[in-house]
Chains A and B, each alone.
Chain A
Amino acid sequence: MYSDKVMDHFKNPRNVGEIDNADGIGEVGNPVCGDIMKIFLKIENNIVTEAKFKTFGCGAAIASSSMATELVRGKTLEEAWEVSNKAVAEALEGLPPIKMHCSVLAEEGIHKAINDYRKKQGLEPWVEKNPHSHEHDEGTCQS
């Protein structure tokens, strides 16, 4: 059901854990829906120097978190913001259609962590270009 890449990132997840005194933290998802992702970013001179995650969820959710943290590491905040759910899914060599929302969750987690950082810096949070109809916060689990 899953690609080898998904299984690799599920079984050997990169960047699991937390960052003490993280510069940006983003938590998305809902336990009712079966997935929660918490993304931690360390940011120096506008560059993501470290990215970590903690995830409650299925294989695809864990693999998406792992891949998303890999993809944003070393990038500028602008570049990291552009890492889309499609990019996460493609880097994982595809996700089953029903699991695409896991990659959406990863993108949202990164965005939330970046905006958390921007707010702490007294900057305007960036606006989602393509808001997903991911309605975890409104009691339904559709994506």
Chain B
Amino acid sequence: MGEKRIIYMDHSATTYVRKEVVEAMAPYYTEHFGNPSSIYSIARESKQAIDTARAQVAKVLGAEPDEIYFTSGGSESDNWAIKGIASANIRKGSHIITSKIEHHAVLHTFGYLEKQGFTVTYLPVDRFGLVDPSELEKAITDKTILISIMYANNEIGTIEPIAELGAIARNHKIPFHTDAVQAVGNVPIDVKAQNIDLLSLSAHKFYGPKGVGVLYIRKGIKIDNLIHGGGQERRHRAGTENIAGIVGLGKAIELATADIEGHNKKIRALRDRLMSGILAKIPDCRLNGHPEKRLPGNINISFEFIEGESMLLWLDDEGICASTGSACTSGSLEPSHVLLATGLPVEISHGSLRLTLGNINTDADVDFVLEVLPKVVSRLRDMSPLYQGKKEGAK
């Protein structure tokens, strides 16, 4: 028996690390391992490597290198941006705004601040997952000190009108943060043109290593530190630098953004064929998210009468890696807050499937999923009491 074929369609969860990135990182584990804070010359190599990575990130975002701070990843960046802005501006007010569909790194941080006494507005989204800028405008008060809206949603792939939302925040002189963890490499980002004051990103979503991310902080923004200690990152983020990780992030972001249009064209072609194939082949299913304003690799479809986890188990059996918004895989008993916020009924949210395509996917992968998925859905529907009810109802 040959090795089981694996079809990885969960790139929004994480990606593999590109070979070139691993190669760029390796010397910083074995040769240039010096602590950048040290005085001897091998430490200088480390210091220079970090400066290079900082410049690579700044260039991609349209920022200045001294506006880039390295962190341990997206969750830390989100926590720092939100808690740091909240505590630094508490005298001005205690109202903060976000959306109902944020990643938990944002949502739970807002929940934490709410317990600390902050007032939070969770902006609704429409059925496609879009935040309405006029809703943001209405929510702002003279006590508002922070607005945080994600760039692109990790579950349904919806891309938010960031420049417009940022312009509203800027107009009211309120710091605007965006969690761009899913956006980098898929959408061109320009922090200046898009009125972004703070932006979080994470290397492992664009073929870089895990455990390293960035918080962009626009010059002049008043923010407290999150990690206290040594004087690293210009006294704003303590802790000995993850040099190899930072080098990897720099290399990965450079490669991921070298040809965003070309990348999107390729991924979108595969995605569209898979998406329309599923919708055409399988009855009683619906697309979640926006038909056009969505990440190029994202597919999120709900299948009626069946539950997501059992779908994932069967797909895994065929070597297909995917994810679901069903409660049954999340460790909680509630289905995806994102799907519920778009107005999808709870019972249908349980039957959602997310496939996120990336660099390693091929036309053969799409063909295989199109062959396997309809069988999985029909096998589960055959044993579902809801499906039987539907058939009888249709008679």
**A residues near B, CB below 8 A?**
2, 7, 10-11, 13, 16-18, 27, 31-38, 53-62, 98, 141-142
Contacts and interface: CB of A to CB of B under 8 A. Distances in A.
B371 interface: no
Contacts of B327: 33-34, 141
Interface string B289-317: 00000000000000001111110011001
Contacts of A27: 385
B262 to A, nearest CB: 39
A37 B307 CA distance: 13
20 contacts: A7-B313, A10-B313, A11-B317, A16-B383, A31-B346, A33-B327, A33-B333, A34-B333, A34-B335, A53-B383, A54-B388, A56-B384, A58-B307, A58-B326, A58-B329, A59-B309, A59-B313, A60-B328, A98-B331, A98-B333
B328 A58 contact: yes
Given A16-B383, A31-B386, 12 more contacts: A10-B310, A32-B347, A33-B333, A34-B307, A34-B326, A34-B327, A36-B384, A54-B384, A57-B307, A58-B310, A98-B333, A141-B333
Main secondary structure of the interface of B (DSSP, over half): helix
A34 B334 CA distance: 9
Contacts of B387: 56
A55 B384 contact: yes
A58 B350 CA distance: 9
A37 B383 CA distance: 10
B340 to A, nearest CB: 11
B84 to A, nearest CB: 34
Contacts of B329: 58
Nearest to B383: A16
Nearest to A102: B328
B219 to A, nearest CB: 47
A61 B386 CA distance: 15
Nearest to A62: B310
Given A31-B350, A32-B347, A34-B335, A56 B328 contact: no
A55 B346 CA distance: 17
A54 B383 contact: yes
A40 to B, nearest CB: 10
Contacts of A59: 309-310, 313
Contact of A36 (B313, B326, B385): B385
Contacts of A10: 310, 313
Contacts of A37: 385
Q: Which 5 pairs between the two chains have the least Cβ-Cβ distance?
A: A31-B347, A58-B328, A58-B309, A34-B350, A54-B385
Nearest to B329: A58
A54 B391 CA distance: 14
B346 A32 contact: yes
Among the interface residues A32, A56, A141, which one has the most CB atoms of the partner chain B within 10 A? A56
Contacts of A57: 307, 310, 328
B92 to A, nearest CB: 40
Contacts of A35: 307
B328 to A, nearest CB: 4
Nearest to A101: B333
A40 B384 CA distance: 14
Nearest to B346: A32
Interface string B146-177: 00000000000000000000000000000000
A71 to B, nearest CB: 18
A17 B383 CA distance: 7
Among the interface residues A10, A58, A62, which one has the most CB atoms of the partner chain B within 10 A? A58
A32 B232 CA distance: 49
Contacts of B317: 11
B350 to A, nearest CB: 4
A2 B313 CA distance: 10
Contacts of A17: 383
Given A11-B317, A34-B326, A56 B333 contact: no
Interface in B307-366: 307-310, 313-314, 317, 326-329, 331, 333-335, 346-347, 350
A38 B383 CA distance: 10
Contacts of A13: 383
A128 B335 CA distance: 30
Nearest to B327: A34
A142 B383 contact: no
A37 B308 CA distance: 16
B333 A142 contact: yes
A53 B384 CA distance: 9
